[in-house]
Amino acid sequence: MSIMATYAHPLSVNPLSHFALENPSRRNLKRLFLLRSVMITFMLAATLALFYLHIPLPKLPISFAVGGMLLLNLITMLRLKKSSNVNDIELLLQLLGDLTALTILFYFTGGYSNPLVWMYLLPLTVAAVALKREYAWLLTAIAVACYSALVFYYVPLSHLHMHDLAGKTLDIHLVGMWFGFIVSAGIIAFFITRIGQSLRDYDRMLATIREKSLNSERMLALGTLATSAAHELGTPLATMAVVSKELAHDLADQPEQLQQLDIMVRQILRCKEILSSITRDAGKGRADAGHGMVLREYLQEAIQRWRDTRPVTELVMTMSENTYNPLIFTDKTLTQAIQNLLDNAADASPERIMFDAAWDETVLTINIRDFGSGITEDIAKHLGKPFFTSKIEKGMGLGVYLTHTTLARYEGELSLSNHIDGGVLATVTLPLKKLKV
């Protein structure tokens, strides 16, 4: 296989594309929207409870504060729907709006003695997580100033301390603190677990990026190796071609030996073609390195090219009778990936292998089975790693690795397992949307 041909079409999938990364400020604005919704719900529930307990409350200031937070949430919802450009300044202003609404609410409902005054901590929690240090400390200073002012300036609530409910005397302030603790514990558990999950997702994303970066480095190393090999192999192949022509002349009256020599000549020409493709195809884009062909003909051509290189091995081929036959792009690296699997199967089972291809409107599935001894659990753990081979006659250990790399570009998958009747079954699954012209 042409290593450089595979490297000439590096992984076109951006490592970040699997993780639809969202603007962090926009994501934090979503969290603020949810948190503010909880705060509004809780404040309305607490207000209704106080009215039920016949504690007179100033309706206009409370309506103004809660209405202001509702307006902020409406603006936030519209911003999230219409725009993805959210910056830290916008988030800071929204949190300042929350602190203002809370301060107005607390001023008219008991000031620092209000059992819900702990809600100042919620905007600060968002600020600590979402904003840079200077903005977080600014909001902290403003919240502390507001809380301190409420110690001296506030409208006291009448009958706040004691109330008779169902024959029991309750301290409303302590009840409010109990209820506030329950809600705050729930809010913290909800949001902190969400933040923790985001951090774990981020760690997984970084691990995937590192793996893809390592994979790219490996492919670069293989490309360098292929370039060096192409340079060094040109001369001996040319010498072998000259010698084979002289042998053909000497063996003109020996048809059996001439037939074997013809096989060798074809293999030499195949090697020269592969080496030529290294320099011819290197650096070409996908559109320059292939052409359009209907799926059935593409598979038949790929199989026939492989048969020409392995005429001794019988290949039993079955193909879907599906009348759907889409036009696909024939990337050479994909052909080589399929031929790699066929080579591995023929190495394990030189007499006969089986090839089955089936597809529908969405997925192409290829099954390649050999009749060898199968694979052990230890070998299965290492298959797909570069330079690892399970063959008795040691190969380069690159076939499965390069096949995995090529299929990944098309969001395809390769699975290797032991067939129930013996041998190895290699299954390739490819989304046709990635192959269509």
Q: What is the mean pLDDT of residues 28-48?
A: 78
Q: What is the mean pLDDT of residues 16-34?
A: 63
Query: For 360-370, how does the pLDDT look when each residue is reduced to its tens digit (9 = 90+)?
Result: 889 999 999 99
Question: What confidence score (pLDDT) does residue 353 get?
Answer: 94
Q: Helix-strand-coil percent breakdown of the chain, rounded to 5?
A: 65, 10, 25
Q: How far is CA 17 from CA 22, 214, 280, in A?
A: 11, 17, 30
Helix axis angle for 172-250 and 24-52, nearest 10°, is: 160
Q: What is the mean pLDDT of residues 402-430?
A: 87
Query: For 114-156, how does the pLDDT look when each residue is reduced to its tens digit (9 = 90+)?
Result: 877 888 888 888 888 778 888 889 999 999 999 999 989 888 8
Q: pLDDT band for position 382 (50/70/90)?
A: low
Total Cβ atoms within 10 A of residue 345: 26
Structure tokens given for 199: 């951090």
Decide: helix, strand or coil at residue 413. Answer: strand
More confident residue, 168 or 244: 244
Which CATH superfamily hosts domain 292-434?
Answer: Histidine kinase-like ATPase, C-terminal domain (3.30.565.10)
| Predicted model pTM | 0.47
